Amino acid sequence: MKKLINDPEHVVNESVEGFGLAHADVVAVHTDPIFVTRAGGAVQGKVGLVSGGGSGHEPLHAGFVGLGMLDAAVPGAVFTSPTPDQVAPAIQAADGGAGVLAIVKNYTGDVLNFETAAELADAEGVTVRSVVVNDDVAVEDSLYTAGRRGVAGTVCVEKIAGAAAERGDDLDAVVAVAEKVIANVRSMGVALTACTVPHAGKPSFDLPEDEIEIGIGIHGEPGRRRIPLASADEITEMLLTPVADDLKLASGEKVLLFVNGMGGTPLSELYVVYRHARALLEGRGVEVVRSLVGNYVTSLEMQGASVTVLRLDDELTALWDAPVHTAALRW
């Protein structure tokens, strides 16, 4: 596998350094320990939002630091949770005096390390609350989790909770909005190929050319089943149906449809998936009123995609529409 890297040991630091240089108007990069904050620092009087996790999922999470989303993001090593001594100073840096919400994907390392970091920050006088994103319907327990995994639905949580914080909601209200999104968002993904972690130098799992893995995790964890390669519409139905069924979507409901690329799939193919996912939802009488298509929660260069559906009401729609200005999401 060919990669544009220098030394596998320095990939994360060099990537984050380049990210900071490219987006210096939006973010500031802190080193030793490494984390990313808004360029102007904490906004006084506003609830701070912090997230993070293993690198390799870019633009998640650093790409969502900025106006209307996160105040800080903490990148760990590739596919490895950031340590508490990284997370704790990021929490402190995001604190504008109104408390901090930590948005944590449901992976055991992330949950434990953010919990420890919250205790450290609390000892320094910062009020910290946490929510755990667990939107993946593919499997209940996996290699990295107890319960469901946190995947692309994390973007919806960060955007909508970020908008609530930006409009001035207090910590309890921001937590309530984040939990409302978590309760109403579901995802499922597929892998066409494995990805290669830089320091490993070989694919993370074996997937024959004529097979795909349905229900894959964003680290290459096993999914529901491995099947022969099928058409885009057939694969889309395998992803969308369990998501819609789990949400118990009813005719007349309104949703956000989010088709996410895993890093190695062309945008043209993601729109093929979106096309059929939307038709399937409309066939159920569900109205797609907001959309997002692109590479937002990736798995290095894995070929594949995930389908996320968020049930919307007037409040969540307004918060989704609220202004955002980050490296990866802006309107």
Active site residues: 57, 219
Beta sheet of 35-38, edge-to-edge order: 27-30, 35-38, 72-78, 48-55, 100-105, 128-133
**Helix (H, G, I), strand (E, B), or coil: what is residue 82?**
coil
Classify the C-alpha dihedral 220-306-330-118 as positive or negative.
negative
**Helix (H, G, I), strand (E, B), or coil: what is residue 283?**
helix
Using CB atoms within 10 A of its CB, is residue 2 exposed (0-12), middle (13-18) or buried (19+)?
exposed
DSSP assignment string, 125-192: T--EEEEEE--B-S-SSBTTBSSSPP-THHHHHHHHHHHHHHTT--HHHHHHHHHHHHHTEEEEEEES
- Strand residue runs (E) in the chain: 27-30, 35-38, 48-55, 66-67, 72-78, 100-105, 128-133, 185-191, 211-214, 225-228, 254-261, 287-294, 304-312, 325-326
